[in-house]
Structure 1
């Protein structure tokens, strides 16, 4: 009996596979992205659904180093960078925040950066839904903040963003390869 059930399941599986391969209605989906999309909320537990109201959310793609030299090479120093991969990184603000003393109203914005060896300029820009930094326009900048770049002792394979609580808000911390920056945000 067990052999009969096993043989039946095997035949059914082969028929289903054959139908999928030969079905002209079967949609061919895109391959998995090498820089997967991710998001991080502040507060961090806002994503858990535990009745925590989010203040902000960052949606970004996470490129990996793959043994490459990143800053100063793949990502050029002193040039605008999309702050991740693929589409530009977006910051959604659910209530007003302040960055470098400038009020940022609730809304959706893009984040760009100009990396340097010891200091980065982090940019909050009004343009969203664009791919990369190719359509970046300084006229749409809300705020530009210079922040120190910290050298990490061990490299990070994937570009990552998180938030760290502070007395008057949170720091958005981003790191990749051997560089890390922290953008102070007040609310």
Structure 2
């Protein structure tokens, strides 16, 4: 009996020590100041209930930097330079079916989004390379399409870089807003 007690006690102590060692070594990263977000078209696609025929056409995964009192376009993000279209990893867009952007047919698949902001127009870029950090290794030869879109100046600034969709007769507009800037990219399907 005494031996059983010693064995059980030893196993308990060993187990507790091993558990402490395992949890003490793990260091989780702090929360990112530019949180990741996901947007779908149709907007309610991920919330579809069983039996509803709502299927996603587009899914965008992006990080949302904040204004934090800074001037964004033309200052933080210089005019005429390729920008990662958000923060952190390059923004990723998935088309669940064939789409048309700027008159160019794009097959279903996953791509990255970049932009070249300017005062009056932006160039929106769909690129075939994914899983890159920022625009540091952006490769123009991998561009699928580039589309120039006009800039709309907002009266009230938007704190977080934001994306949403509005419905078009034959597709959707990707609406991009941050600071006092808004642009729209028509996507047909």
TM-score (norm 1): 0.87
Query: Displaced runs of 4+ in structure 1, greater than 3 A?
Result: none
Instruction: Quote the residue 1:14 is aligned against.
Output: none
CA distance in 2, matches of 1:140, 1:182: 23
2:99 is aligned with 1:102: no
Q: Quick one: distance in 1 between partners of 2:171 and 2:118?
A: 26
Secondary structure at 2:112 match in 1? strand
Give the corresponding residue for 2:29: 30
For residues 150 and 90 of structure 1, what CA distance do their matches in structure 2 show? Answer: 24
Q: Report the equivalent of 1:41.
A: 40
Q: Which residue of 2 aligns with 1:12?
A: none
Structure ID, larger Rg: 2
Query: 1:114-134 deviations in whole A, cap 9, x for unaligned?
Result: 000010000000000000001
* Unmatched tracts of structure 1, length 5 or more: 1-18
Distance 1:31 1:24 in 2: 21
Partners in 2 of 1:79 and 1:120 — Cα distance? Answer: 10
Deviation at 1:59, TM superposition (A): 0.4
Shift of residue 82, structure 1, vs aligned partner:
0.2
- Shift, 1:47, TM fit: 1.4
Quote the Cα distance in structure 2 between the aligned partners of 1:84 and 1:24.
39
Alignment partners' CA distance in 1, 2:92 and 2:166:
18
Match of 2:65 among 45, 50, 63: 63
CA displacement, residues 59-80 of structure 1 (integer Å, 9 cap, x when unaligned): 0000001111111111110000
Deviations 1:148-173 (A, max 9, x none): 01101100000000110011110000
In structure 1, what is the Cα distance between the partners aligned to 2:80 and 2:175? 20
Partners of 1:73 and 1:186 in 2: how far apart? Answer: 33
Partner residue of 1:74? 76
Could you tell me which residue of structure 1 aligns to residue 124 of structure 2? 122
State the distance in 1 between where 2:164 and 2:21 align: 44
TM-score when normalising by structure 2: 0.86
CA distances 1:11-38 after superposition (whole Å, capped 9, x unpaired): xxxxxxxx9xx93311221000000000
| Aligned mates of 1:36, 1:47 — CA distance in 2 | 19
Q: How does 1:140-151 map to 2 (within 5 A)?
A: 140-151=142-153
